[in-house]
Amino acid sequence: MALSGKVFTEIEIRALPAKVYNIFRKQLKKIPDISPDQVQGARLHEGGWENVGSVIHWEYTIDENEESAKVKIETIDDENKVITFSLFDGNVSESYKSFKGTLQVFDCELDINEYGSLVRWTFEYEKVKEDIIGACPDLYLDLVAEVTKDIDYHLELELEQDEQR
């Protein structure tokens, strides 16, 4: 098994890409409320919630273990709906020299005349050593996949509430 690698997952959801991307781009502080089983806390450590260079301290659950890490927003590409970030400190630094992530949201045809989003999460990492003690990269993919599904559900509820008004 290699010390460095790259893993990804893709999740098809019903919410429109602009709405999904907006949560990750402009509403990060709402994620613990949207996905409380996965993310227990998010607090701004440095910068602003929406800025490149900002650092956010996250508390989350992976494989039934409560963990934490800081996330630095590295790049934002609104035109292509891409955000890159790096994870450091906390539990992640015990197992990884580097851990970088990319979120990209695409238009997706779910069915005939039914459109939604394809959300792609990619993690590139370098382990401290072969046998790491912390969560493997696939467990981080599971975490973000569940958060993405929770966001889809949240946006669906918002849409239903808007239609009732």
pTM beyond cutoff 0.75: yes
SS3 content of the chain, % helix, strand, coil (to 5): 30, 45, 25
Phi, psi angles (nearest 5°) of residue 35: -130, 60
The parent domain of residue 120 ranges over: 4-164
pLDDT digits (tens, 9 = 90+) for 78-118: 999 999 999 999 989 989 999 999 999 999 988 877 899 99
Q: What CATH number is given to the structural domain containing 97?
A: 3.30.530.20
Enumerate the β-bridge partners of residue 9.
Answer: 121
Percent above pLDDT 70 for the chain: 98
Q: Is 86 helix (H, G, I), strand (E, B) or coil?
A: strand
For residue 111, the 8-state DSSP code is E
Number of domains in the chain: 1
CA 157, 158, 160, 164 dihedral sign is positive
What is the predicted pLDDT for the residue at 129? 87
Q: Give the model confidence (pLDDT) of 13-31 as tens digits.
A: 999 999 999 999 999 999 9
Give the residue among 164, 154, 163, 147 at the shortest CA–CA distance from 14.
154
